[in-house]
Homo-oligomer: A and B are copies of this chain.
Amino acid sequence: MVKDGIKIATIGGGSSYTPELVEGLIKRYDELPVRELWLVDIEEGKEKLEIVGNLARRMVKKANVPMEIHLTLDRKEALKGADFVTTQLRVGLLDARIKDERIPLKYGMIGQETNGAGGFFKALRTIPVLLEIAEEMEQLCPDAWLINFTNPAGMVTEALLKYSKHKKVIGVCNVPINMKITIAKLLNIPVDQLHLTFAGLNHLSFVMDVFVDGKSRLSEVIELITDPERQINMKNITPLPWEKDFIKALGIIPSPYLRYYYKTKEILEKELEEFKKGKTRAEIVKELEKNLFELYKDPNLDVKPPQLEKRGGAYYSDVACNLIASLYNDKRDIQTLNVRNDGAISNLPNDVVVEVNCLVTKQGPIPLAVGELPTPVYGLVQQIKSYEITAIDAAVTGSYEKALLALCINPLITNDVDAKNILDEMLEAHKTYLPQFFKNEKG
C-alpha cells in the first residue's frame, strides 16, 4: 500500500474501457481512496495509452480527487507494491480477434471471442501472459489481488489458480450484473431488492432462482424473458428469441451466451452472413474503437463519453470497482465471481473455476453453496468444463496434440478434420503470440 491510500495497477491500461474504470474509481473515492492508478501497456499500445491516460488525468482533475494517474510501459514498476492489479489486456489486439472470428467461419464453424475456436485461441494467447503477470506479482506485490477481466475470464482464472503460485486471483465478467439489471427492470424493482442465484461457468451460467423480499419470482421472470420483446441480452450477441416452451421446460434462466449452445444453427447462419459482409463483431468493434479514440483525444473532454456504452462492456467498471471496494472494506456483500468451486456446485470438482455468487470478505470471496446443477444443464456444463481443462492444459504446455484434442471435444467445432485445419491455420496466423507452440523451432 502506498502512503495513506491504495495503489492499483491496470494492465492493458490503454484500453478504450479505461475511462469507465476511472469514472468508477472517482465515484467511489470516499470508500476507496485510490492514491495511485498505474496504467500499463506495451510498446504497440503506447499511443492509445497516452490518449486514454490524458483523458483520465482530465477526469480526475475535473472531479477534484487526489488520485495520481501514472502511465508506463514498465509493468514491474507498476506492480511493485500494488494493492490491486486489474487485467484488461488483449494479446494481439483487435486484429487477432478478427482472425479468431473469421478463420473458423471459413470452415463453417462458429467464430466468437470466448466460445468455440475463437475463444480457444484467445485463451492460448492470453494464459501465458497472465501466468507471467501472476509470477511477477508473487515477487513484487504478493498480497495484492489480481482481478482478471480478460476473456475467456473463467479459463484464464482457472489457469492461474492451477498453475500459478499466486492464488489471490478472481475472475470477473459483466454478464451477471447485466442480467441482474435487466431482470430488476422487468420486475420494476430496484436492483438491490433482487437476489439472483447464479450457477455455472463464465459465459455458461444460469440463474437458478429469483428472490424478491424472500419469495421466488422465477416463473414470472421466465414468462417475461421468453417474450421476444423483453429478452435478456448483451450488446455483442445477436438477439435471437428463445423457444418459449424450451425455457419453461428448462425451468431456469440461461445467460444470453447460452444461445451459442442451444441455438447453434441459427447463430452460425447469422455469423456466416456477417462473415460474408466483412462485418463480424470484431470488425464492428474495431470501427467503434477507432471512433472512441478520436473522441478521447479531445482536450476538452473530461468525463467518460456516452458513446463508450455501445462498445459492449456495460457495467464492467461497476463490477471491478465494487469488487475492489468490498475486498478493501470487508463488505461481505454478494457478488457473482469466477472462483475455485470448492463444492459450491456440488456436482463439479472442487478445483475447477465456476461463476457463482460469493460473499466478498477482506480475506477474499467465499462461494455460496448452490447444491447440484440440474441434470439437463449439468451435461453441457461438464462438457464445456472438460474442454476448458483440456484447453488450459494445451495453453500451458504448448502441446499440439492437446490443442487439437481441445478443439475436437468442443461442441461448437463439429468435425475432427476441420478442427485440424482450423488449428493449423490459426497457429500460423497467431504465431507471434503463441511462442509455447513453437519453442522447438529454429530461428
Question: Which residues on A are within 8 Å of B, measured CB to CB?
Answer: 108, 195, 211, 213-216, 242-243, 245-246, 248-250, 262-266, 327, 330, 332-334, 341-346, 350, 357, 359, 361-364, 366-372, 375-380, 382-387, 389-390, 400-402, 404-406, 408-409, 411, 414-420
Contact = CB atoms under 8 A, between A and B. Distances in A.
A268 to B, nearest CB: 8
Contacts of A363: 195, 211, 214-216
A400 to B, nearest CB: 8
Contact of A266 (B216, B384, B386, B415): B415
Residue of A249, A334, A416 with most chain B CB atoms under a 10 A cut-off: A416
Chain multiplicity (copies): 4
B350 A213 contact: no
Nearest to A400: B245
A371 B384 contact: no
Nearest to A361: B195
A380 B386 contact: yes
Contacts of A404: 243, 245-246, 249
A214 B262 contact: no
Contact of A383 (B372, B380, B416): B380
Contacts of A417: 243, 263, 266
A368 B367 contact: yes
Given A380-B383, A386-B376, A405-B246, A211 B362 contact: yes
A342 B371 contact: yes
Residue of A246, A264, A417, A420 with most chain B CB atoms under a 10 A cut-off: A246
27 contacts: A213-B330, A214-B330, A243-B408, A245-B401, A246-B404, A246-B405, A246-B408, A246-B419, A249-B405, A262-B408, A263-B415, A264-B415, A265-B415, A265-B418, A332-B332, A334-B359, A342-B370, A343-B370, A343-B371, A350-B371, A366-B368, A367-B369, A375-B386, A376-B406, A379-B382, A379-B387, A411-B411
Nearest to A406: B376
Given A343-B346, A363-B195, A265 B216 contact: no
A250 B405 CA distance: 6
A345 B390 CA distance: 20
Contact of A361 (B214, B263, B265, B411): B214
Residue of A211, A216, A408 with most chain B CB atoms under a 10 A cut-off: A408
A344 B369 contact: yes
Contact of A246 (B242, B386, B414, B416): B416
A89 to B, nearest CB: 27
Nearest to A109: B265
B414 A264 contact: yes
Contacts of A249: 401-402, 404-405, 408
Contacts of A390: 375-376
A175 to B, nearest CB: 20
Nearest to A362: B214
Contact of A366 (B266, B369, B380): B369
Nearest to A354: B369
Contact of A344 (B214, B262, B343, B400): B343
